[in-house]
Amino acid sequence: MSAIYKALKGEKENKTVSKRVNRQRVLLISSRGITYRHRHLISDLQALLPHARKEPKLDTKKTLYELNGIAELYNCNNIMYFECRKHEDLYLWLSKPPNGPTIKFHVVNIHTLDELNFTGNCLRGSRPLLSFDSGFDNLPHWKLAKELFIQMFGVPPGARKSKPFIDHVMTFSIVDGKIWVRNYQIVEDADGGDPTLVEIGPRFVLTPIVILEGSFGGPKIYENREYISPNVARAQSKYVAAEQARARQVAAMDRKARRRAEVVKTDPLADASIFN
C-alpha cells in the first residue's frame, strides 16, 4: 500500500497546475470624419493600452455589426469604436463581441497629452491600477459599465507589448451622471513617505446614452432619459439666438417709431416761421 501511495503522490506532484490566463485584447477603431483632436485622443489611448490593436477607419456607420467580424479576425474579444458625427460630435462604443453587451457614450471635454503638458509620466506599456468611484456599485448600469472598463482598460499580466510594472492609476468618477476619466502617475517618496499622484493625461468625460443587449444590436436594456443630444442643444441655442435677434429688431423699430412721434411740429405763428 505504501508503494501505491507514493506512486499516486508522485503523479499528483508531477501534474502542472493549470493557471487561468487573462487573454483580453481590444480592437481600437474609429469612423471616418474624426478631427485631429479625436485622432490624438485615440493615439493616447493606444499608448496606454498595450493589449489594444489599432485598425484603419471603418467606412460605414450603418452596419456596425461588421465590427464583430473584424474583431474575430484579429482575435479581439473587446471593441472600442469611436464614431464621429458632423466632424465635431464624438461617440464611444464599448462592446463585447459576439454576444454583447454594448454601451454607447458621448465623449466631451477632451484634453489630449499635447494640450495638457502635465509633469506626470509613465512607462510606455506599463500596467495601470483602475480606481472606481463608489457610485459604480449603486445601480445596475453603472456595475455593467465598471465591468466593461475593467476588461477594456485593465492590461492583463503578460500581455503583448506590456511591461511588468504598475506606475500609473486610471480613475473613473461619477459626477452629475457622467463618468470623468483621469490618468495619474504614482510618484514614490524618496524618504519613505506616502506616494503621491501627478496627473499625466489624457482626460475626458463620458455620458452614457444607451446599453444594448447584443454586440452593436439587440434590444435596449438601458436608456439615459436625461441625455440631450448635441443636435438638440445646438438647435436650442440657435433658437435662443434667433429670439434675441428678433427682440433686438423689434426694439429698434419701436425706438424709431417713438422718435418720429416725439418730433415737435413747427408753430405757424412762431418767429422762425413768420420771418423766414
143: in domain: yes
120: in domain: yes
Q: Is the pLDDT score of 1 beyond 50?
A: no
Q: Is the pLDDT score of 79 beyond 90?
A: yes
Within a 10 A sphere around the Cβ of 263, how many other Cβ atoms? 7
231: in domain: no
Give the per-residue pLDDT at 158.
78
Q: What is the C-alpha separation between 216 and 53, in angstroms, rounded?
A: 19
267: in domain: no
Give the per-residue pLDDT at 18.
52
CATH of the domain at 68: 3.40.50.10480
- pTM, 2 dp: 0.81
Q: Is the pLDDT score of 241 beyond 70?
A: yes
220: in domain: yes
272: in domain: no
How far apart, in Å, do the first and last CA atoms of the chain sit? 145
Give the per-residue pLDDT at 9.
53
Contact 26, 74 (CB under 8 A): no
Range of the structural domain that residue 160 is part of: 22-224
Mean pLDDT of the chain: 86
Give the per-residue pLDDT at 62.
80
Q: Is the pLDDT score of 50 beyond 70?
A: yes
Confidence label for 19 from pLDDT (cuts 50, 70 and 90): low
15: in domain: no
Interval 185-207 mean pLDDT: 87
Give the per-residue pLDDT at 182.
94
How many structural domains comprise the chain?
1
- Between 165 and 103, the higher pLDDT residue: 103
Give the per-residue pLDDT at 40.
92
3-state secondary structure 186-225: EECCCCCCCCEEEECCCEEEEEEEEEECCCCCCCEEEECC
236: in domain: no
Q: What is the C-alpha separation between 61 and 67, in angstroms, rounded?
A: 11
